[in-house]
Structure 1
Amino acid sequence: MGYINNNTGYPKDLLASRAIIKRNNYAVIPPDGLVKNIIPGFENCDITILSTPKLGASFVDYMVTMHANGKNEQGFGADGIEVFVYVIEGDVTASADKASHQLKTGGYLYCPAGVKLYLKNNSQTSRLFLYKRRYQPLAGYTPYVVAGNVNDLAKINYEDMDDVIIQDLLPKELAFDMNFHILTFKPGASHGYIETHVQEHGAYLLSGQAMYNLDNDWVTVKKDDYIFMGAYALQACYAVGHEPLSYIYSKDCHRDVEL
């Protein structure tokens, strides 16, 4: 049933999955069923490729489990490609543009197009959320390397709701054509309305459970699930259960639509 939670061999029940794949619309991918992918440059790492253009996304998301001595000395990224890494749990050294950053749980690093990301695991096991996307240049603006930790970020009431908090991981500047955010809902909290917009999201659930509206399908999701939300897919959620619902997600922004 998937390497990531060590459920292998024959199941004790019927073959079943909570996964939902609706290409160019939305997808829900739980840990059960994830398979390993071999990506050049990554050593002693288990990697699952999540969203890709084959699913309908303009970006690629990965789940990376770095084992002892796990590393990438080749560099992740390329000309024209921006990359981002978030540490779900663990301790890694992330290097970019000749500078090294120790990223523990909640740490992150953004590399602009043409700046490669190098990784080295410092603990027994580290889990990472990894992202890449082709950068859309804007004349007169140049993005730069950004490193930080969510524990140091301001917690802002989301759309004036004091039981929903948003944190912005990257600056809201025109130099950046995307951003990462973390939304945290207290149990029982929800979005204020069902959203409909051109932006895409790739979201990883850090904690809690939710009833999520995805293109008017109400779907149950929980910690460690991954959600892809395509352009114009309706979206909103209620946090359910006894723990806060929290998820990290990407969003394309700050650019006009090209024809």
Structure 2
Amino acid sequence: MSKRSYYAPHGGHPPQTQLLSDRAVFTEAYAVIPKGVFGDIVTSNLPFWNDTRLWVLARPLSGFAETFSQYIMEVAPGGGSERPELDPAAEGVLFVVEGEMTLTLAGERHHMTPGGYAFIPPGSDWQLHNASAAPVRFHWVRKAFEFVDGLEVPEAFVTNENDIAPVEMPDTEGRWATTRFVDPADVRHDMHVNIVTFQPGGVIPFDETHVMEHGLYVLEGKAVYHLNQDWVEVEAGDFMWLRAFCPQACYAGGPGPFRYLLYKDVNRHPALRLGAR
């Protein structure tokens, strides 16, 4: 298996000589937040997190993400939290892109390194710390879990991308594959956070138009995306939000693989009253 590559922002501040033009796009159907946006002045802090800052990629907002929030967390050496999640109804996924950390989940310690993935059910008892000598950077995807009478809440698990074989899409000669961390047939889960990989020249050969909302963070490579009749170029470090039913297709131009972390909401009835989930 080839060595994995994950882009992570490091902050900083652009010089006064930098041009104002950039690739940022915000529309009713999609948004593109390029990697150059993630500087020091747009970071946030959270209660009960020590020596930690974060970039908020998406949050529930009218006209923007409706079902999830997504952060890139940066925890300095010695930092972390004993009370990371304050919402008892929130489920979460953590995905490490740089550095290492210790996740304590229901009393069990897990050493997580790049490619590390954790699913944290609502109401879980968990803590997170960085005991290393360098910062750790990871994605944190949060969603209000949609409980269903008669369905159990899925159990927590911790794994690593390197331990999971990607599933090739049919009739693509391996150019398009998905690393799935949850069985798609397991309807206990109401969100999937997967990794999609396109080899150079790989394509989504039609405009996908579907009910699932997406958050896409480009981990590696570059591509051209077709979003709601617009062509946009994206590269490692960029984030895309795609509203439900936003037409979407892409072409991976190379020279290396194009890979992204993909969020989507799944396995639940659509709410029949606006604002009710």
State the TM-score, normalized to the length of structure 1.
0.93
Preserved CA contact (<8 Å) 1:86 1:109? yes
C-alpha separation in 1, matches of 2:213 and 2:170: 20
Pair 1:110-2:119 in alignment = yes
For residues 99 and 184 of structure 1, what CA distance do their matches in structure 2 show?
Answer: 32
Which one is further off, 185-194 or 93-102?
A: 93-102
Contact 2:65 2:241 in 1 (8 A): no
Structure 1: distance between partners of 2:205 and 2:265: 21
Structure 1 stretch 199-208 or stretch 168-177: which is displaced more?
168-177
Residue 32 of structure 1 aligns to a residue whose secondary structure is: helix
- C-alpha contact 1:73 1:118 (8 A) present in aligned 2: yes
Mark the runs of 5 or more structure 1 residues left unpaired by the alignment. Answer: none
| 2:203 is the counterpart of 1:195 | no
Q: Indicate the residue corresponding to 1:96 in structure 2.
A: 105
**Pairing 1:163-242 to 2, within 5 Å after superposition:** 163-172=175-184, 173-242=186-255
Say whether 1:45 aligns with 2:45. Answer: no
The residue matched to 2:83 in structure 1 has which SS?
strand
Matched length: 255
Match of 1:29 in 2: 33
Tell me, yes or no, if the aligned pair for 1:61 and 1:129 is still in contact at 8 Å: yes
TM-score by length of 2: 0.87
- In structure 2, do the counterparts of structure 1 residues 56 and 155 end up closer, same or farther at CA, with 3 Å as the change threshold? closer
Q: CA deviation at 1:33?
A: 2.3
For 2:149, the equivalent position in structure 1 comes to 139
User: What is the deviation of 1:88?
Assistant: 1.0
- Stretches of structure 2 that go unaligned for 5 or more consecutive residues are 1-8, 273-277
My pick for the range that moved more, 5-14 or 184-193, is 5-14
Percent of matched pairs sharing the same residue: 30
Distance 1:199 1:159 in 2: 21
> Partner of 1:75 in structure 2?
84
Query: CA 1:139 to 1:29, structure 2 compared with 1: closer, same or farther past 3 Å?
Result: same
Q: Deviations over 1:185-239 (max 9, x none)?
A: 1111111321000101111111000001111211000001111111111111111
How far does residue 153 in structure 1 lie from its aligned partner after superposition? 0.6
Offset of residue 5 of structure 1: 4.3
Counterpart CA distance in 2 for 1:89 and 1:129 is: 10
Deviates further, 159-168 or 212-221: 159-168
Which residue does the alignment assign to 1:255?
Answer: 268
Whether 1:84 and 2:93 are equivalent positions in the alignment is: yes
C-alpha root-mean-square deviation of aligned residues, in Å?
A: 1.6
Deviation at 1:14, TM superposition (A): 2.5
Partners of 2:52 and 2:161 in 1: CA distance: 24
Structure 1 pair 252–6 and aligned structure 2 pair: CA distance change class (3 A): closer
In the alignment, the residues of structure 2 paired with residue 229 and residue 95 of structure 1 have an alpha-carbon distance, to the nearest angstrom, of 33
